[in-house]
Amino acid sequence: MTLLAHRTRPLWIAALVHRLSGLALAVFLPFHFLALGLAISGEAQLESFLRWSEQPLVKMSEAVLLGVLAIHMLGGLRLLALENLAWREGQARLALLAVVAAMAVAFAFLASVF
């Protein structure tokens, strides 16, 4: 079977990215709560975790996470606008803009920590 052509279109890929970024955030959420839980269980444990999180590789991962969060949020806002406001052409351009904005957020974070 040939690759179905509609799956190479920008808006189909935008939907895929939105779904995958949502899954990635769902996987991250337990770790986020774990870190928050450390703050309750003791200052020393939290301090040790925060020191661990200063490593460059962890910071890089945080930048990726921030990018994923931004792309998911901006993609969601685009869909909310599409479904609740008057129709606006150029949705593929808006989706691309969301990707560029998310990458800019991630790079700005990296620039601020290195």
User: Residues interacting with other proteins, by CB under 8 A?
Assistant: 1-7, 9, 11-12, 15, 79, 82-84, 87, 91
Smallest separation (angstroms) from other proteins to the CB of 113: 36
Nearer to other proteins, 84 or 112 (CB): 84
Nearer to other proteins, 5 or 44 (CB): 5
Smallest separation (angstroms) from other proteins to the CB of 103: 23
CA distance 2 to 96: 26
The full DSSP string for 87-113 is --S-HHHHHHHHHHHHHHHHHHHHHHH
CB atoms within 10 A of CB 52: 9
Nearer to other proteins, 8 or 112 (CB): 8
Tell the burial category of 70 from Cβ atoms under 10 Å away from its Cβ (0-12, 13-18, 19+): buried
Smallest separation (angstroms) from other proteins to the CB of 22: 13
